[in-house]
Structure 1
Amino acid sequence: MNFSPLRDFVRIQSDNTPHVEDLPYELVERKGLGHPDTMCDAIAERASRYYCLYCLEHFDRVAHHWFDKVMIFGGEADFDYGRGELTSPYTVLFAGKAALRCGSEEIPLTDILRRAAEDVLTEVTTGFVPERHLRVENRVVDHQGPGRGVSRYRPRDRNDMVALGDSGLTSNDCNLLHGFAPLSRLERAVLDIEQWITGDEFKATNPDTGWDVKVFGSRREDRFTLIVNMPFIAADIKSFEHYRQRAAECHHAMVDRLETFLGMTPDVLLNAADRGVRPYLTALGSVADTGDVGAVGRGNRVNGLITPMRAMSIEAPAGKNPLDHTGKLYNVMAHRLATEVSELAGQPVELHIFTSKEAPLNQPEEVVVRIHGWDGDAHTEARVRDLVTGALESTDDLTRSLIRSGVTMW
């Protein structure tokens, strides 16, 4: 795939609109590890990775697929102070398309999908036992249109699959993706506090806390307010008084963390429903214990946040084929490039990528780079252009990285 300098699709512009930090009001949200929507994103992405790895191991190529239509139907739980048990399992529904076999050799898709669901749910809940707590429904098909010969979903042999680094790959769809950098103070605070609450250090000293953490952040001028929803594991909480004690201890730890992080004291409200006498308890640490439903694409964007004050793509990258689904590749690339350009220019950056179906992966229709307060100097423009074209020429490296570690939005 050779880059043609004749078609100049990269636009580098100065952005003179107010930066988000200069706005009088800002809102940010993050859905945590145990939120049903985040679970679905993680399961879909894990399924794609496992499917790619299976294909590479057995065929040295990757079959076409997309698993970005995962849903979780929550179970039912019996819990009270000092006890908690899941009495009806979670159901994970996979819908999408994929090759089910290569020639006569079957690909064990249901096993791959189940392992993805088991691994994720075991990691983001407390006491999850797949054999008792999980049911998987596989609705993935390999259907093709009438009159078609070889389908991407029905390879006759490994040669009908796609090799990593294939120079003939093109965009599978029309997509519009966005990225920005750096994160604002509020965005960093919301991201940090959720990752800390669901991280190893906090969980080691607070094992009675759940995983379905949701953080809302607001900034009015320089006043920061964070609302944190965090469940507790019912079996570890002896009474309402014990619950209030543990919530107060966790609240104090969060304030200390945020004071260190922000250099100021924010207003923090933990578990708003506690304004009455309603404790936030769960059996395994998620509202999926009590029938809540999750779906891919309804939660965090690629940078781990929901940022309504920023340019934000509605593409759901989790579970998409990492070889040519530009809704995934360019989604990740836009944020990474925005960070690199921001570090280079020393200014906030907003970056947009637009591509059409069948466009070569290294030549989308447009890449627009907006640098806040940029003076238009030729040296910076040349270096930014090199960064953009270099990233587009290296999509195969990004694909390999995504297969190894996936898209992280949690």
Structure 2
Amino acid sequence: MSDKIFVETVRTTPTFKKRFEFVERKGLGHPDTICDLVMNKISIELSKLYLKETGMIQHHNMDKTMLVAGQTENKFGGGKILKPMKLVMGDRATTSIDGRQLPIGDFAITTAKSWFEKNLRYVKDEHVEYQLELGKSSGQLRSIFKSPKSFASNDTSVLVGYAPYTETESVVLGMEQYINSKKFKAEFPASGEDVKVMGFRNGDCLDLTVAIAFVDSFVDSQNDYFKKKRQMLDAITEFGKKKTPLRIHAAINCLDDERKGIDGVYLTVLGTSADNADSGEVGRGNKANRVISPSRPAGAEAIAGKNPVSHIGKIYNAMSFKIADEVHKNVMGFDEVFVWMYNVIGMPVNDPKAVVVQPITKNNSEITTSQINQINEIVSSNLEKMDEFCKKLLSEQIEIA
């Protein structure tokens, strides 16, 4: 395996030392995040169903999905739903084993309904319609799963991870989690789950632009909306100042306009813009480390909904970040670490064609033989424990969005 692990020193300025940085986080109720989390949950539960019914996980991928926005009539004090959202669930699954049909479609819908019920306070059964576009897996791809001890890669892909989090990434992630926390919702029940945080760092100044979908049943009037908005902004600013030494400037719902009445405020009925204003897709949400960082390298594969034992678009997506984090924490002398993982369809998942580790050394010093040896040990150890890692993906011990 060591002949497939490559270490290359990168001589450049690490992200946290650059003057400018951009980071985004799409929260729990954002339409893109809904698609990611719902379809990932379906993949996980479907994998468990396959294990129960057939003794092993079968071929499936649940990563081609769109949430089509509904239509509402917003009103201070509580609006109404005119047209429900529609979740179009697509891609491929193994629908029968040895001539025995499996109820994949019904199972997917039931799992999606359960996710909405547990995660979005105001979304009920009648607020979402479901359209199934799940086709039957091809025979060639299903054949990968006939030998459970050595799954072949489902795709040809290259994925990349990095470490550590920058201060900006930590603040943006923490800010969304704070706004969607039980504590914040108890204090500000008008705040919906659809939260987006965009951070722009210029030196030691961090500009945070936050979008929060207000739930109209908790807003009595235009004046009440702007009062609650100011109170939320104060809480958010205070949280940011406690979390980071960076100088914080925050703003909420920047499209608001007091001159336009109800059309000048960000109201929803269900706490998500998907009830009226915005559709969503798998893969347009957060990356495998739960933020979107245009300042860092990124692979092209969505992590959500892919098969947890054969699709490297999921497995390597998550593992590359894990390896990068372990290298940064355990090998002294690196400011930043990038890890690229590459494999070809049909090759064993635990035997990638290449793993390229690119550390940025402190002060651009030369990488040492000892550091290279430590990196090789970390990468090899992770590849040897691939089955254990996949089980953690299946048991949701690894957060993906």
Distance 1:341 1:143 in 2: 38
Within 5 A, what are the aligned runs for 1:243-262? 243-262=225-244
Distance 1:265 1:86 in 2: 41
Name the SS for the 1:231 alignment partner.
strand
Asked if 2 retains the 8 angstrom alpha-carbon contact of 1:12 and 1:381, the reply is: yes
1:308 equivalenced with 2:294 (yes/no):
yes
Cα deviation per residue 1:90-138 (whole Å; 9 max; x = unaligned)? 11111111111212322111222112321232244332111x1121111
Asked if 2 retains the 8 angstrom alpha-carbon contact of 1:70 and 1:94, the reply is: yes
Asked if 2 retains the 8 angstrom alpha-carbon contact of 1:177 and 1:352, the reply is: yes
| Among 371, 377, 385, the residue aligned to 2:376 | 385
Name the SS for the 1:211 alignment partner.
strand
The equivalent residue for 1:352 is: 340
Name the SS for the 2:194 alignment partner.
coil
Distance 1:185 1:364 in 2: 32
Asked if 2 retains the 8 angstrom alpha-carbon contact of 1:176 and 1:313, the reply is: yes
The equivalent residue for 1:30 is: 25
Asked if 1 retains the 8 angstrom alpha-carbon contact of 2:257 and 2:265, the reply is: no
Name the SS for the 2:347 alignment partner.
coil
The equivalent residue for 2:224 is: 242
Shift of 1:143: 5.5
Distance 1:135 1:249 in 2: 35
Counterpart amino acid of residue 403 in structure 1: L
The equivalent residue for 1:119 is: 114
Give the TM-score normalised by structure 2.
0.93
| Among 350, 355, 362, the residue aligned to 1:367 | 355
| Among 388, 393, 398, the residue aligned to 1:402 | 393
Shift of 1:14: 2.1
Name the SS for the 1:29 alignment partner.
strand
Give the TM-score normalised by structure 1.
0.91
The equivalent residue for 2:367 is: 376
Shift of 1:359: 2.0
The equivalent residue for 1:332 is: 318
The equivalent residue for 1:128 is: 123
The equivalent residue for 1:147 is: none
The equivalent residue for 2:180 is: 198
Within 5 A, what are the aligned runs for 1:267-278? 267-277=249-259, 278=264
Distance 1:182 1:383 in 2: 18
| Among 163, 166, 172, the residue aligned to 1:181 | 163
Distance 2:309 2:350 in 1: 13
Name the SS for the 2:284 alignment partner.
coil
Shift of 1:197: 0.7
Distance 2:145 2:351 in 1: 23
Asked if 2 retains the 8 angstrom alpha-carbon contact of 1:73 and 1:291, the reply is: no
The verdict on how the C-alpha distance between 1:401 and 1:66 changes in structure 2, with shifts beyond 3 A counting, is same
Distance 2:277 2:214 in 1: 17
Q: What percent of counterpart residues are identical?
A: 28
Distance 2:256 2:141 in 1: 53
Counterpart amino acid of residue 363 in structure 1: D
Shift of 1:201: 2.0
1:208 equivalenced with 2:178 (yes/no):
no
1:169 equivalenced with 2:151 (yes/no):
yes
The equivalent residue for 2:327 is: 341
1:288 equivalenced with 2:259 (yes/no):
no
The verdict on how the C-alpha distance between 1:343 and 1:60 changes in structure 2, with shifts beyond 3 A counting, is same
Q: Following TM superposition, where does structure 1 have runs of at least 4 consecutive aligned residues deviating by more than 4 angstroms?
A: 150-153, 160-163
Counterpart amino acid of residue 242 in structure 2: T
Structure 2 residues not aligned, in runs of 5+: none
Distance 2:400 2:384 in 1: 25
Shift of 1:176: 0.9
The equivalent residue for 2:132 is: 138
Distance 2:211 2:277 in 1: 18
Shift of 1:395: 1.5
The equivalent residue for 1:42 is: 37
1:317 equivalenced with 2:311 (yes/no):
no
Shift of 1:354: 1.5
Query: Which one is further off, 376-385 or 322-331?
Result: 376-385
Shift of 1:264: 4.2
RMSD of aligned residue pairs (Cα, Å): 1.8
How many residues end up aligned between the 2 structures? 392
The equivalent residue for 2:65 is: 70
Name the SS for the 2:74 alignment partner.
strand
Name the SS for the 2:352 alignment partner.
coil
Shift of 1:177: 0.5
Structure 1 residues not aligned, in runs of 5+: 145-149
1:53 equivalenced with 2:48 (yes/no):
yes
Distance 2:26 2:18 in 1: 24
Distance 2:43 2:227 in 1: 43
Cα deviation per residue 1:160-210 (whole Å; 9 max; x = unaligned)? 9557xx332221221111101111111111111001111222122222211
Distance 2:251 2:245 in 1: 18
Name the SS for the 1:34 alignment partner.
coil
Counterpart amino acid of residue 22 in structure 2: L
